[in-house]
Structure 1
Amino acid sequence: MTTRAEQRRRTEERILRAARELFGEYGFDRTTVRMVATRASSDAGLVMRYFGSKEQLFAQAAAIPADGAIEGSPAEIAEQLTAALSAKLAEEPAAALAALRAMFSHPEAADEVRKAMTAQQRQVADQLSGDDALARSGVIGALTLGLVVSRHLVKLDGLDAAPEELMAIAGPLIEELVTG
């Protein structure tokens, strides 16, 4: 038997999944609470009861999950970074794309993306040697961001290739940036 708490958790997750899809497709401004409710097979009142406002729903839906700790030898760091990028190329990172699409018109989304990217950039830089470690980790972040946006949002020609093909090109670049 499903408990009330479990039903609530499932409903919240269904609403968040719908919100990620819609914010990713249409951005913050063009997505309505009613659209989210419809996509989630719910009603707008329930969405508001669970999340309070469209802004709070967006904040939760567009929260960018961390890739996890990046640490180890340079070879291990390069492997972790290439694995994370490969996963983002293989499957659309819905929350990240919702935040990225909305960041151009919604300041809170831009702050969310910047905080997530900066935290990871600093974590990587702390593991690298050399005076230019922060700059190299920034280039890795920009490469990652650029590939994900270009593949999933802009849909640039050539970037619809298999993730393995793209990583055959991007992987050595990341390795070179990690080792300096």
Structure 2
Amino acid sequence: MSTPRQSRADRRRATEARILDSARELFAEKGFERTTIRAVAAAASVDPALVMQYFGSKRELFSQAVQAFPAPLTATDTDALVDQLLASLGLKLGGLPEGTLAMMRSMLTDQAAADHVRLTLGRQIDGVGAALPAAEDPELRAALVVTTLLGVTIGHQLLGLASLRGAPADRISALLRPAIKALAGPPGACICLADR
């Protein structure tokens, strides 16, 4: 029995996908600056000219390789919001997509990557801020929540801090829960030791 032949468009899509997969791996491992078109082409088993033909530039290849969209928040109260935020952290500690790792690794050395991360985090902050119950400074509170979770993710995934890598995700979430709840909840909902 013979296998059906792929159309030219199907072969092109498969080649593009192979190039993007290779690019994600290399950008995640080496960052934007140290990843070359030649290395991506070699990893994808294609000619470097084909990479340029499909993507036009290293910048466009990077942009397409790291596209990721945050899941919308669907929580209806503070406890549910905190649960959803900590669940997303658990997913991140389990391993990030290579595109996200590539972006995080590159954001400190490449202005375009930093701009992309800033835009993505801005959308996340807007989403968290909109989901917060009526609270004072919702945008600031949301920014503190998002950057706290980002810091834990960076420490765990990129820096490999032993104390974070050795701890189960549910333990990290349990320790973070009171802080995230204090930031996400209405003012005065948290009894702080300083108030006693």
Structure 1 residues 170, 93: closer, same or farther in 2, change over 3 A?
farther
**TM-score with structure 2 length normalisation?**
0.84
Question: Given the alignment, which residue of 53, 60, 66 partners 2:69?
Answer: 66
SS state at 2:164 partner: coil
Pairwise CA distance, 1:151: 1.1
CA contact (8 A) 1:62 1:109 kept: no
Q: Which digits, 9 at most, give the CA deviation of each residue in 1:118-167, with x for residues without a partner?
A: 01101110121211211111111111211111111111121113322322
Match of 1:145 among 150, 159, 162: 150
Partner of 1:157: 162
TM-score by length of 1: 0.90
Output the amino acid matched with 2:170.
Answer: E
**1:19 corresponds to:** 23
Give the letter aligned to residue 106 of structure 1.
Answer: D
Establish whether residue 123 from structure 1 lines up as the match of residue 127 from structure 2: yes
Q: Equivalent residue of 1:34, what SS?
A: helix
**In the alignment, is residue 133 of structure 1 matched against residue 130 of structure 2?**
no
Identity %: 39
After TM superposition, the runs of 4+ consecutive aligned structure 1 residues lying more than 4 A away are none
Aligned 1:23-102 pairs, distance under 5 A: 23-63=27-67, 65-73=68-76, 74-102=78-106
CA RMSD of aligned residues (A): 1.7
CA shift, 1:114, in A, is 0.1
- Radius of gyration: which is bigger? 2
Pairwise CA distance, 1:87: 0.8
Counterpart mapping for 1:109-120 below 5 A = 109-120=113-124
Distance (Å, rounded) in 2 between the aligned partners of 1:8 and 1:28: 25
Displacement of 1:94 in angstroms is 1.5
Gaps of 5+ in 1: none
Q: CA deviation at 1:6?
A: 2.6
